[in-house]
A and B are shown apart, each in its own frame.
Chain A
Amino acid sequence: MAVDTEFLQALPYFAGIDPAELDSIKGFFFEKTFERGDTILFEGGDSEALYLVFSGVVKLFKTSADGKEQILKLVRPGEPLNDVSVFDGGPSPTGAQAMGPVGLYGVQIDDLEAILRDHPQVTRSVNKVLAGQVRDLMALVEDLSFRRVTGRVAKILLEHASNGAGPKQRLTQQDIAGMAGTVREVVGRALKTLEEEGAIRLERHRVVINDREALRQLVDAD
């Protein structure tokens, strides 16, 4: 199947590039497909090509020594999968697994280097994309510091818990993210942390507060 020029043109990597230039670049790309659960990259493994997702969703994750998985990012169509290890030449910082049927466009590292050499506009765009990722990660580090978000989420849970009287309020993780001044992914992580600590229980359609006092302590510590 031919690489979709319109898709490439819409990527931040190729922002502002002349269509004729893109035509000369697209021949370097090849296609790969994966099924749900397939491993695309191993944590610590080598990257021989840069991959861009064109369909489906890929999870990037790290695994702790005791086997616990932490999802760092869900990569959606249009986003690169492994630019960090491609550009620094190091091992892949995360594993990557297909969350459903996934289609990738790949470009071998040697070919990528030729593209960057011959098309300075692409180099500038790649710099911008990588700088944006650093900015996002810095915001995440700030958010995760000193358990501030977990304390804020604990406060929101206590404030919005139903005591059995009156109409029941329904919230989404996005609602809580908006109230806590963070992003949905961080709220999901905070809820999991609270569950692991035994303060809450995540059930279908509801969050059950097991230990009110534990949540209060987190609020006070914030």
Chain B
Amino acid sequence: MPTVDVEKCNGCGLCVSVCQCNILVLVNNVATVVEREECWRCTRWCTLCEAVCPTAAITCPFEIVFGEE
């Protein structure tokens, strides 16, 4: 799920507006993840919040693993 750097977040709310899973809200003018387990309802791990963030405050970190080949 998205990780928010509160120091970088400028409270613009673009991430909230694009999130199709409604897991983000602005709390005290800072983007906040409120429904951690719902970050999959869009059926894709879309990472749109990361894409639209103008201050790079929001990121969607992932692991890279080898699957069964």
Contacts and interface: CB of A to CB of B under 8 A. Distances in A.
Contact of B66 (A76, A163, A204): A163
B64 A171 contact: yes
A169 B40 contact: no
Interface in A70-109: 74, 76-77, 99-101
Output the residue of B50, B59, B63 with the most chain A CB within 10 A.
B63
A168 B63 contact: yes
A184 interface: yes
A114 interface: no
Contacts of B40: 204
16 contacts: A57-B14, A74-B48, A99-B17, A100-B16, A157-B64, A161-B64, A161-B65, A168-B63, A169-B64, A170-B61, A188-B47, A205-B45, A208-B65, A208-B67, A210-B67, A211-B69
Nearest to A101: B17
A198 to B, nearest CB: 11
Interface of A: 36, 55-57, 74, 76-77, 99-101, 157, 160-164, 168-174, 184-185, 188, 201-212
B50 A172 contact: yes
Interface residues of B, number: 29
Contacts of A202: 44-45
Contacts of B39: 204
B64 A207 contact: yes
B47 A173 contact: yes
B65 A162 contact: yes
A172 B59 contact: yes
